[in-house]
Amino acid sequence: MVERINKSELYDHFARLNQQTQDLVANMKLLQEEVNAVLEENAELSIENEHLQQLVSQQAAKEAATAAGGESGKLTPSRENLKKLYQRGFHVCNEYFGKRLDEGESCTFCLDTIYGDHSAGAPKGGGR
């Protein structure tokens, strides 16, 4: 024989199941909000980490340049080019620009052009 389930028991069972489903949905929403918060924080931290790595790399490059004599880290790209020309044996100063340096010769004007303090606040072209 088939047992008959009492209608009130069936209704109570259905009500409990419905409540459990609603609780599960509520828990899923909370879990989803927490996951979203963690993912957002992770994205922010990843960006901050990249910025910090760039700063560390820049600082390491500055320290390496200082340890190597400090010249290459302080020179602009245009001054680096002048330095390379000078090391190949050519004058880079205004007075003798493009002329060949004699073997073992150094030029104070060239060195001033390459390494001199020509910052934005300093007067340009004066004092030679």
Range of the domain at 88: 75-115
Instruction: At 90, give phi and psi (nearest 5°).
Output: -120, 145
Same domain, 100 and 38: no
Q: Using CA atoms, how far apart are residues 64 and 58, in angstroms rounded to an integer?
A: 10
Q: Give the model confidence (pLDDT) of 44-81 as tens digits.
A: 999 999 889 988 888 887 777 666 655 445 688 888 88
Confirm whether pTM is higher than 0.75.
Answer: no
In the chain, the number of structural domains is 2
Any domain includes 93: yes
The answer as to whether 88 is a domain residue is: yes
